[in-house]
């Protein structure tokens, strides 16, 4: 038997019981669409959040226990609102002549969790299964991802996203501090928590992925002497190269000496070779992938005193072209010229080993070729697209 009261609440009889005992069960619900709750009192919202975390079906006695002795009035008011607004139905039993709440059943738990800013557990499960379908080529990243299976879904997804960001950071050959990586991964330099950093450092050798905890260093060699407020630094004193913090280079007040050109080399091994070969006449600097902000600031200060053109050597691949263009923009913005160095089809085709282009490589090439590339890089991009191959700089210099 069912009946509807003046508020539209439907009462459905579930079990009448013996008349002499005046016992029975009933279900009460509102059949319409759930109402919005933008103006829900804060105390109600907090209590509702605790209830919703318990799942779709909650015992009445448990709900009142969550509310505590001082929250009983709020609990009754919230239960009445949930019923009238269509967000929950109530299963009641008649005991001692009164109807008592036995179960509260939420009508649309996923939607309700979303309104409260809570993750939908079913959606999280689907997202986690989807995330696991994409495996990492790097065995250390994949091992870290496999170990997330036993973690709570929301935490596993958040950390899997960090691993994905590490993979992208390394693929784009970026280099910088933890704050640089946090900005790259989540759009905020402080968006990665201390617990997440602890987990990342335990799972991965972060410096090997270009993520440094301490101040990053500018590696260079040149026949120059830097003047700083604290003293003079010779950039040619070492037979290979020296390392300076970005703050040190930004603090330079003058340079003594002269170079013919700035040579930027992306590959670390190639940089070391070039520094030994050219470092007594040119300024040779390691280009740490996509140049971080600290690197650009330090380089701009050097250009203030030595405004010479640049030769930029990067991997002969789509990412290398992007990196060269990015570094070249520093010279362009300073009103100086730059050109690729050994980034051409002759060097790429002469390599004994080349790699096939990935789908991501082809997408990058399409974007690059739709823009205005320098002539050498345009020819290089066309060669790669035609032959479906790319190379590494280490085999060139």
In this prediction, residues 262-291 reach a mean pLDDT of: 93
The whole-chain average pLDDT of the chain stands at 88
Residue-level pLDDT at 20: 43
Spatial separation of the C-alpha atoms in residues 339 and 332, rounded to whole Å: 11
pLDDT single digits (tens) 13-31: 876 554 444 568 898 998 8
Beta bridge partners of 284: 221, 263
How many residues belong to the chain? 397
The 10 Å CB-count burial string (b at 16+, else e) for 327-343 is bbebbeeeeeebbbbbb
Q: Any idea which of 54-58, 274-278, 323-327, 366-370 has the lowest mean pLDDT? A: 54-58
Categorise residue 265: left if φ over 0, alpha if ψ from -120 to 50, beta otherwise.
beta
The 10 Å CB-count burial string (b at 16+, else e) for 220-251 is bbbbbebeeeeeebebbeeeebbebebebbbb
Residue-level pLDDT at 397: 53
Spatial separation of the C-alpha atoms in residues 113 and 48, rounded to whole Å: 10
Residue-level pLDDT at 2: 78
Is the pLDDT assigned to residue 395 strictly greater than 80?
Answer: no
Which has more pLDDT, 208 or 387? 387
Residue-level pLDDT at 186: 84
* Token pair in block for residue 312: 């930029």
In this prediction, residues 30-49 reach a mean pLDDT of: 84
Q: Any idea which of 31-40, 86-95, 202-211 has the lowest mean pLDDT? A: 31-40
The domain ranges of the chain are 2-115, 121-212, 217-395
Spatial separation of the C-alpha atoms in residues 246 and 298, rounded to whole Å: 6
The pTM score is 0.57
Tokens 């080993």 correspond to: 353
Query: Quick one: CATH architecture of 217-395?
Result: 3-Layer(aba) Sandwich (3.40)
Q: Strand, coil or helix: what is 54? A: coil
Q: What is the chain's Cα-based Rg? A: 32
Percent of the chain having pLDDT more than 90? Answer: 45
Helical (H) or strand (E) element with 26 = strand 25-29
Which residues, 6 or more positions from 336, have their beta carbon under 8 angstroms from its beta carbon?
Answer: 303, 307, 308, 309, 310
Residue-level pLDDT at 134: 85
Which residues, 6 or more positions from 372, have their beta carbon under 8 angstroms from its beta carbon?
Answer: none
Residue-level pLDDT at 271: 94
Return the half-sphere exposure (C-beta side, CA atoms, 13 A cut-off) of residue 371.
Answer: 11
């Amino acid at each position: 038997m069912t009946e509807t009261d003046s508020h539209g609440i439907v009462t459905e009889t579930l079990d009448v019981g013996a008349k002499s005992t005046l016992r029975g069960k009933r279900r009460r619900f509102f059949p319409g669409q759930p109402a919005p709750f933008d103006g829900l009192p804060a105390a109600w919202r907090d209590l509702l959040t605790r209830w919703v975390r318990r799942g779709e079906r909650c015992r009445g006695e448990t709900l009142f226990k969550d509310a505590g002795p001082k929250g009983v009035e709020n609990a009754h008011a919230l239960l009445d609102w949930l019923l009238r607004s269509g967000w929950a139905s109530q299963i009641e039993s008649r005991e001692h002549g009164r109807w008592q709440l036995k179960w509260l059943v939420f009508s649309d738990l996923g939607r309700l969790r979303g309104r409260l800013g809570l993750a939908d557990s079913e959606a999280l499960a689907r997202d986690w299964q989807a995330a696991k379908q994409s495996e990492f080529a790097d065995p250390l990243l994949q091992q870290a991802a496999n170990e997330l299976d036993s973690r709570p879904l929301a935490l596993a997804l958040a950390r899997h996203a960090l691993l994905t960001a590490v993979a992208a950071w390394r693929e784009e050959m970026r280099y910088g501090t933890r704050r640089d990586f946090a900005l790259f991964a989540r759009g905020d330099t402080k968006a990665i928590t201390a617990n997440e950093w602890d987990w990342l450092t335990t799972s991965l050798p972060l410096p090997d992925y270009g993520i440094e905890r301490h101040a990053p260093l500018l590696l260079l060699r040149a026949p120059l002497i830097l003047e700083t407020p604290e003293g003079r630094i010779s950039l040619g004193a070492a037979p290979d190269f020296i390392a300076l913090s970005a703050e040190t280079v930004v603090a330079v007040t003058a340079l003594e000496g002269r170079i013919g050109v700035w040579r930027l080399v992306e590959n670390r091994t190639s940089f070391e070779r070039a520094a030994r070969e050219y470092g007594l006449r040119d300024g040779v600097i390691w280009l740490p992938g996509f140049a971080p902000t600290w690197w650009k600031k330090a380089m701009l200060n050097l250009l203030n005193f030595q405004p010479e053109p640049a030769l930029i050597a990067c991997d002969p691949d789509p990412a290398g072209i992007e990196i060269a263009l990015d570094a070249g923009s520093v010279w362009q913005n300073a009103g100086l010229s730059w050109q690729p160095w050994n980034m051409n089809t002759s060097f790429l085709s002469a390599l004994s080993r080349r790699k096939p282009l990935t789908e991501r490589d082809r997408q990058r090439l399409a974007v690059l070729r739709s823009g205005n590339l320098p002539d050498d890089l345009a020819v290089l991009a066309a060669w790669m697209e035609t032959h479906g191959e790319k190379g590494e700089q280490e085999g060139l210099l």
